């Protein structure tokens, strides 16, 4: 359980430590509010530009694959040479992408705006995840949960902001959220100063052992299993984030505003599940949390395509609550398996999450055009069966 930030991470818990975790979680919220603007305005863009579902999926693919391709590279670079002040730069890229979305008058401009927001996320996630681990005081699951819940909360309130601000006032009102990006740039600059001081103190202490707890072959196999579980979770999440509004509008005849509220319920439950997953994993072990969070959602996902509006809302809340708890546990387990490579692991798994979600969104869009949106949710209902792969994971808690 050692890595290059271990001496920092095991500092006694105090006000400064929690202040930094809160700061990066807050900025994660701002970052994901900005990036959720894209998916939240999909119904408006579809109507204004006459887009097909595959074009909606391509927007998601552009954003998420941009982030996916860059995050592992950035994570590897910051492991060798941490760059605390890259955090405000990443937020700046998201700011530019957001402004471009507000004035875009063609589909290619929408794609460029989505790509810039993806670049911002690629820069933000690996380094901020490292900062959260540094400030954790050894409670890695708790730190990752609270870091990630900021992003989940941002994704949850994004659709509400879009429903009540952007949809009534039009595409140009997206630019109002530039103020949130400016606040994030300021906070991340202060976080960068704190982290730079801690990094220098770690260098003064000298190198720390980065021995892997398992063999290289065994570690590679476990990382592949963790990636497959992340893949499963993110396909299902992509079905909700990109198409849940269309599903409820088509199946139950909801308005755009009502459909966005339904999406908010799912994303809010997802945020709560993220908060619970990390601390529970610290207590009972990451493997147990991963088992429950993937496979435990199966009976509810199987029932979702067949129930009425009320139970659709209830089941989506339960599914979001259960499935969200897996990612903090997956990330902590991966970082324990490869000590000393916190940024690279965070980049791979955040990038993998974005990339697989983007690919899934594009593929699901094609399926929705061919077979209908309700068929997509029936098909995705079987995905939690992949949780059976957790049987191959080790119990690192006892190690």
pLDDT of residue 5: 39
Domain residue spans of the chain: 6-392
Range with the poorest average pLDDT among 21-35, 46-60, 62-76, 117-131: 62-76
Residue 54: C-alpha distances to residues 59, 242, 318, 363 (Å): 9, 11, 29, 8
Distance between CA atoms of 382 and 333, rounded to whole angstroms?
25
Nearest partner of 90 among 141, 131, 57, judged by Cα = 131
pLDDT of residue 316: 92
Assess whether pLDDT exceeds 60 at residue 66: yes
302: confidence class by pLDDT, cuts 50, 70, 90: very high
> Taking the C-alpha atoms of 110, 352, 153 and 306 in order, what is their torsion angle to the nearest 10 degrees?
90
Q: Which helix (H) or strand (E) holds 267?
A: helix 256-284
pLDDT of residue 11: 42
Assess whether pLDDT exceeds 70 at residue 176: yes
Assess whether pLDDT exceeds 60 at residue 9: no
Q: pTM of the entire structure?
A: 0.67
pLDDT of residue 45: 80
Give the dihedral sign, CA 271/276/279/281. negative
| Top-tier CATH class for 6-392 | mainly alpha
Question: Which has more confidence, 398 or 213?
Answer: 213
Nearest partner of 383 among 313, 322, 332, judged by Cα = 322
Assess whether pLDDT exceeds 50 at residue 233: yes
Distance between CA atoms of 137 and 236, rounded to whole angstroms?
33
């Amino acid at each position: 359980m050692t890595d290059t930030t271990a001496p920092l991470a095991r500092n006694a818990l105090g006000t400064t430590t929690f202040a930094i975790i809160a700061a990066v979680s807050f900025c994660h919220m701002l970052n994901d509010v900005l990036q959720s603007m894209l998916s939240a305005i999909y119904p408006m863009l579809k109507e204004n530009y006459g887009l097909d579902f595959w074009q909606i999926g391509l927007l998601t693919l552009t954003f998420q694959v941009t982030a996916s391709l860059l995050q592992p590279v950035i994570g590897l670079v910051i492991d060798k040479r941490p760059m605390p002040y890259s955090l405000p730069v990443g937020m700046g890229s998201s700011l530019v992408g957001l402004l471009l979305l507000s004035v875009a008058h063609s589909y290619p401009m929408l794609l460029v705006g989505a790509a810039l927001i993806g670049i911002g996320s690629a820069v933000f996630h690996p380094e901020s995840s490292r900062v959260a681990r540094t400030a954790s005081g050894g409670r890695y699951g708790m730190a990752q949960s609270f870091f990630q819940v900021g992003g989940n909360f941002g994704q949850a309130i994004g659709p509400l902001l879009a429903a009540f601000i952007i949809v009534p006032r039009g595409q140009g009102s997206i630019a109002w959220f530039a103020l949130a990006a400016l606040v994030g740039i300021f906070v991340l600059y202060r976080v960068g100063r704190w982290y730079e001081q801690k990094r220098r103190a770690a260098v003064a202490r000298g190198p720390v052992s980065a021995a892997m707890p398992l063999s290289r072959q065994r570690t590679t196999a476990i990382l592949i299993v963790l990636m497959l579980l992340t893949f499963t979770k993110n396909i299902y999440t992509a079905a909700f984030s990109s198409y849940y509004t269309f599903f409820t509008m088509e199946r139950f005849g909801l308005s755009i505003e009502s459909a966005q509220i339904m999406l908010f319920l799912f994303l809010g439950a997802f945020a709560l599940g993220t908060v619970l997953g990390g601390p529970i994993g610290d207590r009972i072990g990451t493997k147990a949390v991963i088992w429950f969070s993937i496979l435990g959602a199966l009976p509810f996902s199987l029932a979702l395509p067949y129930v009425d509006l009320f139970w659709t809302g209830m089941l989506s809340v339960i599914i979001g609550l259960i499935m969200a708890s897996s990612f903090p546990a997956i990330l902590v387990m991966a970082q324990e398996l490869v000590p000393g490579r916190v940024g690279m692991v965070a980049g791979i798994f955040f990038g993998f999450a974005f990339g697989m979600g983007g690919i899934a969104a594009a593929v699901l869009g094609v399926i929705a055009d061919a077979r209908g949106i309700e068929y997509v949710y029936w098909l995705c209902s079987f995905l939690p069966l992949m949780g059976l792969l957790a049987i191959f994971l080790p119990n690192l808690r006892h190690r």
